[in-house]
């Protein structure tokens, strides 16, 4: 037998018990006539003691074990004279009588403790060692717990977990597909699903009116911060539902998770904010509403006073950063640099300090009198001591830039507390997005999303104005989930494909099977998918989803541990009917 107990469970009530423990050697110390080992497994750490005098050979054996050796010991639980209140087993130690080295270890490339000295690349290369660290375990265990709660909740509501295939044909979530060459069909390829979207719709047609699945999705996207080429969705779909049914069901699921996992309760309904409002007030369709600092349109107040930059702009907007009127020139210059960074791409930033004594000092004092600036302050409900930051230009770009600046100021003012959660729904997204260069419409969500009821007729006359029956769940500035009520008839779906620039043949070739299925009795349906990785990261207080994946890839999509992607040999290429062209 390898163990009677794990390394985290023995307490003072077990004094005198003979136990067998197995685990990893975290540390070996020699102190006076004693040798100590901290023995670790995923449950905790237990101190082992070897008396150099009573059994010199055993003590010597203990001293010869190195970090990360795997050992099995037999011994007796005794009370520690020098208790360690930092760990749950800190009142006891094991007087070892027998020890067996089960496995030796090379010296690990980084320290396997809460705080490690290893950089991310080396930890990813030796991920199995990194996984031994308690901080990493915490994320993995949390992930399990959340998955379990999701399954409980949905199963109790009669949802069925149904698997859908990975080797399929392209799915339209707007990214590039990963493809898999087929050996059996010369020159043909499978695509890996960007999501199970079409399959879950086919399941609705198949009569499985409540479906969910925790599943991998694959998207070949260019490097963007904190993306993974494969990630996990909680994918859900329901039949005979309207938007309200979906929002109610999944708001309840969200509250259930918060309650069971985080011990946080939300007695009120989540706020719902229309997409247009979110953009206008927060410059983002995933606003962080843990703090206010709304964006205000001050175009009317600031134009036609001789300041050409504002006069020529489509839009002038501002935010108010509370209490920051004391910012020095250097600090405001730094902010200007911040908004000029390519990620934000603004040309500049105007600041107005509303001083404690009620006077104003701004970077545009030449053009605006204190009375003018006072009207801005009033529009923003700014108080003496506040700093007003103004940006101008093309409306949507300026709003986005102000949105970024708002987040930065929120960060600086410590308004983005990781222990505070602010969930909300974004609703009424536009149905289409227009490609600025080609003028082509793209589906903002995906091509199966239905317009809002009552907006069907607008599709012909003013497609840009059509709102989609789509929604996102946003928590603390993260898009945690998104979905829509779907189109469920062939004519409507055909019209949609047409608007998206598909030829009849193109649509038929890619989605003919779905259109055909719609002809055999498709129930009204809708659904949503949540990003499990991001949700766990959020609950875990992690900035990166890599922290909560057992075997993540690095930022360039490489698995540094198994060294993938990698070349394949000539024979495999031949079997797959492929030739590499350099
Ligand atoms: N398939 C969609 C996505 O991956 C979610 C949905 O519409 O249910 O974003």
- Is pLDDT at 172 greater than 90 in this prediction? no
Same domain for 431 and 389: no
**What is the structure's pLDDT at 171?**
76
Q: According to the model, what pLDDT value does residue 170 have?
A: 81
Q: What CATH number is given to the structural domain containing 324?
A: 3.30.1360.30
> Is 67 found in the same domain as 153?
no
Number of other residues whose CB lies within 10 A of the CB of residue 576: 16
- Provide the CATH number for the domain around residue 173: 3.30.930.10
Residue 126, in any domain of the structure: no
Q: What percent of the chain has pLDDT over 90?
A: 92
Q: Does pLDDT of 92 surpass 90?
A: yes
Do residues 95 and 184 both lie within one domain? no
Does a structural domain hold residue 442? yes
Among 57-61, 140-144, 161-165, 345-349, the minimum mean pLDDT is found in 345-349
Pick from 529, 534, 535 the residue to mutate for probing ligand 1's pocket: most ligand atoms within 8 Å of its CB.
529
> How close is the Cα of 529 to the center of ligand 1, in Å?
5
Name every residue whose Cβ is closer than 8 Å to that of residue 469 and which is 6 or more positions away in sequence.
243, 449, 450, 451, 452, 453, 484, 485, 526
> At 59, which CATH number?
2.40.50.140
Last residue of a domain, one of 394, 412, 430: 412
- Give the Å distance between the CA of 247 and the centre of ligand 1: 14
Average pLDDT, the chain: 96
Residues 436 and 462 in one domain: yes
pLDDT digits (tens, 9 = 90+) for 199-257: 999 999 999 999 999 999 999 988 777 889 999 999 999 999 999 999 999 999 999 99
Residue 185 forms part of a structural domain: yes
Give the model's pLDDT for residue 457. 84
Residue 425 lies in a domain: yes
Question: Considering the domain boundaries, does residue 115 fall inside one?
Answer: no
Residues 488 and 506 in one domain: yes
Do residue 216 and residue 178 come from a single domain? yes
Range of the domain at 44: 12-103
Residue 439 has pLDDT above 90, yes or no: no
In a domain, 569, yes or no: no
Task: Let me know whether 442 and 472 are in one domain.
Answer: yes
Write out the H or E segment, with its range, that includes residue 72. strand 70-79
Q: What is the pLDDT of residue 174?
A: 84
Residue 557 belongs to a domain = no
558 contact partners, CB below 8 Å, separation of at least 6: 564, 565
DSSP 439: -
Using CB distances shorter than 6 Å, the residues near ligand 1 are 173, 195, 197, 482-484, 527-529
Ligand 1 atom showing the smallest separation from residue 236 Cα: 8
Is residue 451 domain-shared with residue 479, that is, in the same domain? yes
Please, which pLDDT band fits residue 459 given cuts at 50, 70 and 90?
A: confident
pLDDT of 454 reads 87
Clarify whether residues 363 and 400 are in a common domain: yes
| DSSP state string for 45-68 | EEEEEEETTTTHHHHHHHHH--TT
Verify that 405 and 463 share a domain, yes or no.
no
* Per-residue pLDDT at 431: 96
Structure tokens of 517? 């299925």
Ligand 1 center to residue 85 CA distance, Å?
48
Query: Residue 143 Cα, ligand 1 centroid: separation in angstroms?
Result: 21
Of 36-45, 145-154, 188-197, 507-516, the range with the lowest mean pLDDT is 507-516
Q: Tell me the average pLDDT across 502-511.
A: 91
**236: CA distance to ligand 1 center in Å?**
9
Region 141-148 average pLDDT: 98
Does 525 score more than 90 pLDDT? yes
DSSP string, 366-425: TT--HHHHHHHHHHTT--TT-EEEEEEESHHHHHHHHHHHHHHHHHHTT---TT---EEE
Q: Where are the beta strands (DSSP E) in 119-270?
A: 160-161, 179-181, 189-191, 210-218, 230-239
Question: In 3-state terms, what secondary structure has residue 241?
Answer: coil
Closest CA to 62 of 99, 12, 8, 102: 99
Closest ligand 1 atom to Cα of 237: 8
* Domain termination site, one of 393, 412, 431: 412
Q: For helices 532-540 and 134-156, what crossing angle results, to 10°?
A: 120
pLDDT at 535: 98
Residue 159 dihedral angles phi and psi, to the nearest 5°: -75, 145
Give residue 212 CA to ligand 1 midpoint distance, Å.
12
Residue whose structure tokens are 């890996």:
192
Asked if 447 and 351 sit in the same domain, the reply is no
Give the tens place of pLDDT for each residue, 97-144: 999 999 999 999 999 988 889 999 999 999 999 999 999 999 999 999
Tell me what pLDDT residue 445 has: 93
Count of domains observed in the chain:
3
Half-sphere exposure of 67 (CA within 13 A, CB side): 12
The minimum-distance atom of ligand 1 relative to the CA of 486 is: 7
390 CA from centroid of ligand 1 (Å): 36
Whether the upstream peptide bond of residue 494 has omega within 30° of 0, thus cis, is no
Decide which of 78, 103, 128 is a domain's last residue. Answer: 103
Are residue 186 and residue 206 in the same domain, yes or no? Answer: yes
Ligand 1 binding pocket mutation candidate from 201, 230, 235 (most atoms within 8 A of CB): 235
Quick check: is 581 in a domain? no
pLDDT at residue 173, as a whole number: 82
């Amino acid at each position: 037998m390898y163990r009677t107990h794990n390394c985290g469970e023995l307490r003072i009530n077990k004094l005198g018990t003979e136990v067998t423990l197995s685990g990893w050697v975290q540390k070996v110390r020699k102190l006076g006539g004693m040798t100590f080992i901290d023995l670790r497994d995923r449950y905790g750490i237990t101190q082992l003691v070897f008396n150099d005098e009573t059994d010199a050979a055993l003590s010597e054996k203990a001293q010869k074990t190195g970090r990360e050796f795997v050992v099995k010991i037999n011994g007796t639980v005794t009370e520690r004279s020098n208790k360690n209140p930092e760990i749950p087993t800190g009142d006891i130690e094991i007087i070892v009588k027998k020890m067996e080295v089960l496995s030796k270890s090379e010296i690990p490339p980084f320290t396997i403790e809460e705080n490690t000295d290893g950089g991310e690349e080396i930890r990813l290369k030796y991920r199995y060692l990194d996984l031994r660290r308690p901080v990493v375990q915490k994320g993995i265990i949390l992930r399990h717990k959340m998955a379990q709660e999701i399954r409980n909740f949905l199963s109790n509501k009669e949802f069925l977990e149904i698997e859908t295939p990975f080797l399929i044909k392209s799915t339209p979530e707007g990214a590039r597909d990963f493809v898999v060459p087929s050996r059996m069909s010369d020159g043909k390829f499978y695509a890996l699903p960007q999501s199970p979207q079409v399959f879950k719709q086919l399941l609705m047609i198949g009569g499985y009116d409540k479906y969910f699945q925790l599943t991998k999705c694959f998207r070949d996207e260019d490097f963007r911060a904190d993306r993974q080429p494969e990630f996990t969705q909680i994918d859900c779909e329901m039949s005979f539902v309207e938007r309200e049914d979906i929002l109610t069901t999944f708001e309840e699921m969200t509250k259930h998770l918060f309650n069971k996992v985080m011990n946080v309760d939300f007695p009120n309904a989540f706020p719902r904010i229309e997409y247009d409002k979110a953009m206008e007030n927060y410059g983002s369709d995933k606003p962080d509403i843990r703090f206010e600092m709304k964006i205000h349109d001050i175009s009317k107040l600031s134009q036609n006073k001789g300041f050409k930059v504002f006069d020529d702009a489509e839009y002038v907007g501002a935010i108010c950063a509370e209490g920051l009127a004391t910012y020095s020139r250097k600090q405001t210059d730094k902010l200007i640099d911040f908004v000029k960074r390519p990620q934000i791409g603004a040309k500049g930033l105007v600041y107005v300090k509303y001083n404690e004594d009620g006077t104003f000092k701004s970077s545009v004092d030449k053009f605006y009198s204190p009375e003018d600036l006072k009207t801005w302050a009033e529009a923003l409900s700014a108080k003496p001591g506040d700093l007003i930051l103004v940006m101008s230009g093309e409306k949507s770009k300026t709003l986005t830039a102000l949105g970024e600046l708002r987040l930065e100021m929120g960060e600086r003012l410590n308004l983005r507390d990781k222990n505070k959660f602010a969930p909300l729904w974004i609703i009424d997204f536009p149905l289409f997005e227009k490609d600025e260069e080609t003028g082509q419409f793209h589906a903002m969500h995906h091509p199966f999303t239905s317009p809002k009821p009552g907006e069907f007729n607008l599709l012909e006359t003013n497609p840009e104005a059509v709102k989609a029956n789509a929604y996102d769940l946003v928590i603390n500035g993260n898009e945690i989930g998104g979905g829509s009520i779907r189109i469920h008839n062939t004519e409507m779906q055909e019209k949609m494909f047409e608007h998206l620039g598909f030829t009849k043949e193109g649509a038929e070739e890619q989605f003919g099977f779905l259109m055909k299925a719609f002809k055999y009795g498709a129930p009204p349906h809708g659904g949503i998918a949540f990003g499990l990785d991001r949700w766990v990261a959020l609950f875990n207080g992690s900035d990166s989803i890599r922290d909560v994946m057992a075997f993540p890839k690095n930022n360039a999509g490489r698995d540094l541990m198994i060294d993938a992607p990698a070349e394949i040999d000539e024979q495999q290429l031949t079997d797959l009917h492929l030739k590499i062209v350099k």
